[in-house]
């Protein structure tokens, strides 16, 4: 059995979110406009309309359920990790990491609450509604433009997925870090999990391509030499790779190995 890692696609299901937000937006807009000669006229400000829409989206059952499932999923990965480590003789208790896990995920959950969604989407949505209505566009034209923004680029789903993945990663990395802290004398290296993209940092590319994802203690100096000046967080060392990772915004996971 390998150390369980996060599978991005299993963390959260964002499948219906774009359509849901679009439906809610159109509904809220139509509640607040008069249609005169097939053209729209607002009876409330775009700020009120968008805020109301995002509140409805956030309160929608499917969104709430999906966030609840997300929390269950990351707890499951977390428990599998504990089991895996225990099987290999590495044991930590909930009291060692519970508080850290809560701190780790709180920030990311705030991106997924009503305020978080509002901060990210209020402005662009208002701009679209405002400019279409004052240009005298029809309901269909407004809907098409909203759809282009929300659905075609998967703006909302991508945002929610990304925040969820970052939160899940921070949550489970706490366990990898606590194991590393407690058994640092036994840890001989890390397995690096996660894919490369075109813009991956040189140090991440080096670890995946040259080191084949196995980072041994003796590799650290050459990795550090590449990483310094390429976004390495100050104070990063071999011993805190699970939480510091290889640079700001690094989405790789580092799970400790004992040979
Ligand atoms: Zn990385």
**How far away, in angstroms, is 251 Cα from ligand 1 center?**
5
**How far away, in angstroms, is 240 Cα from ligand 1 center?**
14
Q: Which residue has the tokens 């510091």?
A: 244
**How far away, in angstroms, is 10 Cα from ligand 1 center?**
20
- Tens digit of each residue's pLDDT (9 = 90 or more) over 112-149: 999 999 999 999 999 999 999 889 898 899 999 999 99
pLDDT given for residue 1 in this prediction: 67
pLDDT given for residue 147 in this prediction: 93
Alpha-carbon Rg of the chain, whole angstroms? 23
**How far away, in angstroms, is 137 Cα from ligand 1 center?**
45
pLDDT given for residue 258 in this prediction: 84
Q: Parse the chain into domains and list their residue ranges.
A: 1-183, 185-259
Q: Residue 181 has which token pair?
A: 């802290």
pLDDT given for residue 39 in this prediction: 80
pLDDT given for residue 103 in this prediction: 92
**How far away, in angstroms, is 76 Cα from ligand 1 center?**
24
CB 187 within 8 A of CB 242: no
Q: Return the sign of the alpha-carbon dihedral for residues 232, 233, 237, 240.
A: negative
Question: Which regions of the chain are under pLDDT 50?
Answer: none
**How far away, in angstroms, is 247 Cα from ligand 1 center?**
7
**How far away, in angstroms, is 165 Cα from ligand 1 center?**
14
**How far away, in angstroms, is 116 Cα from ligand 1 center?**
25
**How far away, in angstroms, is 81 Cα from ligand 1 center?**
21
Pairing of strands 39-42, 33-36: antiparallel
Could you tell me the pTM of the whole model? Answer: 0.86
């Amino acid at each position: 059995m390998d150390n369980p890692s996060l599978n991005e696609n299993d963390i959260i299901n964002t499948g219906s979110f774009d359509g849901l937000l679009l439906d809610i937006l159109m509904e809220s807009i139509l509640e607040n406009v008069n249609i005169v000669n097939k053209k729209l006229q607002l009876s409330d400000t775009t700020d009120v309309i968008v805020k109301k829409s995002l509140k409805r989206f956030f309160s929608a059952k499917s969104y709430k359920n999906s966030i609840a499932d997300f929390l269950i999923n990351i707890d499951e990965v977390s428990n599998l990790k504990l089991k895996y480590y225990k099987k290999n003789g590495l044991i930590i208790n909930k009291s060692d990491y519970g508080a850290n896990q809560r701190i780790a995920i709180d920030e990311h959950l705030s991106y997924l609450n009503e305020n978080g969604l509002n901060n990210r989407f209020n402005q662009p949505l208002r701009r679209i509604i405002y400019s279409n209505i004052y240009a005298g566009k029809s309901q269909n034209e407004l809907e098409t433009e909203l759809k282009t923004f929300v659905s075609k680029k998967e703006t909302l789903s991508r945002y929610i997925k990304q925040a969820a993945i970052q939160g899940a990663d921070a949550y489970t990395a706490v366990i990898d870090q606590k194991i590393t802290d407690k058994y640092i004398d036994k840890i001989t290296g890390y397995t690096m999990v996660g894919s490369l993209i075109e813009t991956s940092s040189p140090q991440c590319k080096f670890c995946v391509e040259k080191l084949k994802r196995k980072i041994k203690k003796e590799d650290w100096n050459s990795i550090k030499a590449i990483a310094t000046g390429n976004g390495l967080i100050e104070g990063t060392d071999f011993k805190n790779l699970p939480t510091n990772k290889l640079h700001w915004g690094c989405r790789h996971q580092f799970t400790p190995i004992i040979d």
